Structure 1
C-alpha cells in the first residue's frame, strides 16, 4: 500500500471523523459505505496511525452523562528532572483520565504537570488530588485545581466531504 494519502484515505477520514458507527461491527459498516473490505479499512487506519496522519482511535465519553459532574484539572509544579517518572506514576492512577506535561509560563503560571480527575462530586475529586499530592511528595513545589464550569464540545480537526 502506498504510504501517501489517497482518495480512499480521505474518504475514510471523512467517514470516521465524527466517530465510528455505533454498531456491532463498525469496520464492516465503514467498508460497506466505502466499497472496500473491512480488512482494507483496518489496514488503512493502522497505516494512518503508524504514519502519524491520525493520532488515535478511541472512545470519548461524556462524563456528565455518566454522572461525573465534578471535573478538576489538577496542575502541579514538579521538578523537571523527575517529570517523566512522576507523570507516568500519576497517569497510572485509576481516577486520572489523562496526564501530560506542558511548559510553564513564568512568572504567572509555574505548573508543568497536568492531570484530569473526574468525580461525582468535588470532595471525590479533591480526595484524588490529595492522593496525587502524596504520590508527588517533595518533588511538588505547588499545585492547584481548576474545576470545569461548562461542557465544551470536544472535536478534532474536520475536513470537508468528498
Structure 2
C-alpha cells in the first residue's frame, strides 16, 4: 500500500484494488460503450465500485480528472503557440481566469518572472491549423487583456513531445 496526503491533508491509503484500477486505466479508458462495466469485468469489481473508487480518489486529489484527450495533430491543429504575457502582478489572477475561460485556450497558468531575463508571468496555450490562426487567437487575448498587458510574445512548438502522467509499474510478487 501507498499513503498519499490529500488536498484536505487527510492521508489516503491506496489499497491494492485502487492500484489495480490505476494500472488498468493509466493508458486510457477502454474504448467501449460502457468503460466502467468493462473495467469492472477486468478487475472483478462491480461498475458501481469502479465509479466509487474513481470518485473517492478524485475527492482526495489522487486523480485530478477523467477526461478525453484528443490528438490535436490528427485533428489538423499543427501550430501550437504558448502565448506569454507580462501582466501586472495585482491583475494576473483576474486576467488569468478571463484568459483561461476563452474557448480556444487549452491551458493557462501563472509562472514566476525571472528578471531581468524573463518578464512574462501569464502563459496561455493556443492551437491552430496555421500560424495566422494562432496569431489571431493571440490577438483576441491581447484585446481581452488591454492595458493589463505590458508585453507579450508567442513561443511556437518545434517538436512533438509525448506527454504522460505518472505511471505505476506492476509489483512483482516475491517467490
TM-score bracket for this pair, using the shorter chain length: over 0.9
Structure 1 stretch displaced more, 137-146 or 100-109: 100-109
Query: Which residue matches 1:115?
Result: 124
| Consecutive unaligned residues in structure 1, runs of 5 or more | none
Query: Which residue matches 1:149?
Result: 158
For normalisation by structure 1, the TM-score amounts to 0.95
1:38 to 34, 41, 47: 47
Give the whole-Å Cα distance in 1 for the aligned partners of 2:112 and 2:68.
27
Query: Which residue matches 1:85?
Result: 94
2:69 to 41, 53, 60: 60
Q: How well do the aligned residues superpose, as a CA RMSD in angstroms? A: 1.3
- Asked if 1:5 is matched to 2:14, the reply is yes
Structure with greater proportional helix content: 1
Q: How many residues align?
A: 161
| Consecutive unaligned residues in structure 2, runs of 5 or more | 1-10
Q: Offset of 1:3 from its aligned partner?
A: 4.5
- Asked if 1:19 is matched to 2:21, the reply is no
For normalisation by structure 2, the TM-score amounts to 0.88
Give the whole-Å Cα distance in 1 for the aligned partners of 2:125 and 2:73.
14
Partner of 2:94, secondary structure, is helix
Q: Offset of 1:93 from its aligned partner?
A: 1.2
User: Could you say which structure has the greater relative contact order, defined with CA pairs below 8 angstroms and 6 or more residues apart?
Assistant: 1
Query: Which residue matches 1:161?
Result: 170
4+ long deviations beyond 4 Å = none
